[in-house]
Amino acid sequence: MKFILLTLVSILLVVFLGPFVPFWGLMIGIGLLSFLIAPNGIGAFLGAALGMGLGWIGICTYLGLTSASPLPDQMGELMGLGSGMTLVGLVGVLGFLLGGFSGLTGVLFRHMLRPNDKNIYRG
């Protein structure tokens, strides 16, 4: 349940806050989300990664379809990728990695602040 919540809130954060803040601001926001929601490590990585990656792919696809601009295809050819959809896929992979590592950072920061047991034998 925490995984799905983190994914959906990350998508909403990226879609609605993304046009106003830089990518590192989104990473800080996703890190704070994973700090507050507190899933396990792999859940935080995958949830935040899917949220940011799908958000960026959705925004790129929406802008490409509504504007009907040849710019994505031109940029893909300029970078040697072939088409604009390859460039959109590359943006999605980049968003996946950035979101995943920011989510993992948030949950690991939460684990770092959690108090440890003083009695190692728990007896």
Residue with tokens 């990226």: 14
Let me know if residue 57 belongs to a domain: yes
Q: Is residue 17 a part of any domain in this protein?
A: no
Give the mean model confidence (pLDDT) for residues 4-12.
94
- State the residue for tokens 């893909």: 76
Q: Is residue 86 part of a domain?
A: yes
- Contact in structure between 36 and 78 (CB atoms under 8 Å): no
**CA distance linking residue 68 with residue 61, whole number of Å:** 10
- 71 is a domain residue: yes
The pLDDT value given to residue 36: 93
**pTM of structure:** 0.84
Q: Say what percent of the chain tops pLDDT 90.
A: 58
Q: Is 4 among the domain residues?
A: no
CA dist., res. 23 & res. 17, Å (int):
10
Residue 33 within a domain: yes
Query: 16: number of CA atoms within 13 Å, CB side?
Result: 7
Is residue 70 in some structural domain? yes
Domain count, the chain: 1
| Gap between the terminal Cα atoms of the chain | 33
CB 96, CB 86: distance < 8 Å: no
Q: Which long-range contacts (CB under 8 A, 24 or more apart) does 24-27 make?
A: 26/52, 26/99, 26/102, 27/98, 27/99, 27/102
Residue 85 has pLDDT above 90, yes or no: no
> Where does the pLDDT of residue 35 fall: very low under 50, low under 70, confident under 90, or very high at 90 and above?
very high
Say if 81 falls within a structural domain: yes
Residue 98 — very low, low, confident or very high, per pLDDT cuts 50/70/90?
Answer: very high
Which domain range does residue 78 map to?
23-113
